Structure 1
Amino acid sequence: MPNPRIKNEDQYEALRDKGYSKEKSARIANTPDAGEKGGKAKKYEEWTKDELYEQAKNVGIDGRSKMNKKELIKALRSN
């Protein structure tokens, strides 16, 4: 039965098969544009702080409400 919290089940399962943790697989599979190739996704530096906050919220980064833009970018890149 598909998990409604996972946006891209195929990508999630492929990552799990590669040995990624459930949490990291879910974060990647739930990231918009994560599967796009060719650099179509904007660099985090081009995002607004609100966009970065929403992305951090989507991937479940704790403490995001106290982070500034630079800290949000670092947290998103390390997950």
Structure 2
Amino acid sequence: MPARKSPGPSVKDPALYEELRQDGASKEKAARIANAAARTSRSAVGRKGGKAGDYDDWTKDALLRRARELDIPGRSSMTKAELVHALRNH
């Protein structure tokens, strides 16, 4: 098996980058995660985000606004449950 080419000097944690690439992450995503992990601790990277709340807790109007932002087709005739499903699987 041929040796993998180095990801380049912009990747701060090459080992994590290669692991993410093997798991199927794009080059951009793997580099972003590897660099974030190098800046902080690896455990802190996974804790970022998650402040939007669960879609089940959103109002239908809020779900419609979000679906409009993402240009989900058929959103105007969807029920709340259908909107939640469409947003989660977009």
TM-score in terms of structure 2 length: 0.47
Give the equivalent residue in structure 2 for 1:55: 66
Q: Report the structure number with the largest CA radius of gyration.
A: 2
Identity across aligned pairs (percent)? 50
Q: What count of residue pairs does the alignment treat as equivalent?
A: 48
Q: Which runs of no fewer than 5 residues in structure 2 stay unpaired?
A: 1-25, 30-46
What SS does the aligned partner of 1:50 have?
A: helix
Instruction: Say whether 1:72 aligns with 2:83.
Output: yes
Compared CA separation, residues 17 and 78, structure 1 to 2 (3 A): same
Higher relative contact order (CA 8 A, sep 6+): 1
Structure 1 stretches of 5 or more lacking a match? 1-14, 19-35
**TM-score, length-normalised on structure 1?**
0.53
